[in-house]
Structure formats: structure tokens, C-alpha cells
Amino acid sequence: DQQVKQNSPSLSVQEGRISILNCDYTNSMFDYFLWYKKYPAEGPTFLISISSIKDKNEDGRFTVFLNKSAKHLSLHIVPSQPGDSAVYFCAASALTSGTYKYIFGTGTRLKVLA
């Protein structure tokens, strides 16, 4: 049972345009959401996060939107740059059995074309 889903395995975008990566979740108890970026042969690195009490968080070129009623979040990258080409994972956390567990999606591979 995949609680966090990234339905698009890959996405190609032209340099300078907007990249939109999507993530859906099923567990209404998730209260914190994170996006990670992963380059080949490296560990995931934290990109941006959002608490369930907010619907938007912005950090430079990266903005995360949260729609709790739809159980959907998205990551917008504007403008996209070739260095943004990587796999992006969304993650969600919830209090489970007395501790916070982080559940990850399957990832979306973004390719930014120069």
C-alpha cells in the first residue's frame, strides 16, 4: 500500500521554463512534507519542506504547494536549469507508534533540456 505516490516517473522540461513535480498521499495523519533531490551515486539532499498548517512555502526558485483536501502536493521550479536534472523524491511524516516515520514516494526523474 503506497501511502505516498509520485505517478510520473519522468519529466522533461526546457531550460528556463517551469517544472512541476506532483505527489499524492493517502494518509490524512501526515503533517509534514519534504522534497529531496538526488543525483546519481549520491545521497538524497533536502530541498524544501512544508507543514500541514500551511499551503505554500517558497525558497528561491523552489515553491511547494500543499492541497490538504486533495491530499496533493507539488514542487514548482522556476526557472528550470540544467543543474536541476535529478531524481526528486517527496516524503511525508506522521506520528506512528510514538515516533515520526518518513515515507517516501518512488521518485520523478527530471531532465532539464538546454
Partner 1 sequence: NAGVTQTPKFQVLKTGQSMTLQCAQDMNHEYMSWYRQDPGMGLRLIHYSVGAGITDQGEVPNGYNVSRSTTEDFPLRLLSAAPSQTSVYFCASSFFGGSGNTIYFGEGSWLTVV
d(CA 112, CA 72): 24
- Cell for 71? 491530499
Name which position in 32, 61, 74, 109 contacts partner 1 (CB under 8 A). 32
Which one-letter amino acid corresponds to residue 25? Answer: Y
- CA distance linking residue 81 with residue 62, whole number of Å: 12
Q: Which of 25, 84, 105, 110 binds partner 1 (CB under 8 A)?
A: 105
Residue from 49, 57, 74, 111 touching partner 1 (CB under 8 A): that is 49
Our CB check for partner 1 shows the closer of 38 and 61 to be 38
Among 24, 25, 44, 80, binds partner 1 (CB under 8 A): 44
Q: Cell numbers at residue 74, please?
A: 507539488
Q: What is the DSSP letter of 84?
A: G
Determine if 45 is a binding residue for partner 1 (CB under 8 A): yes
Enumerate binding residues for partner 1 (CB under 8 A). 4, 6, 9, 31-32, 34, 36, 41-46, 49, 51-52, 89, 91, 93, 95, 97, 99-107
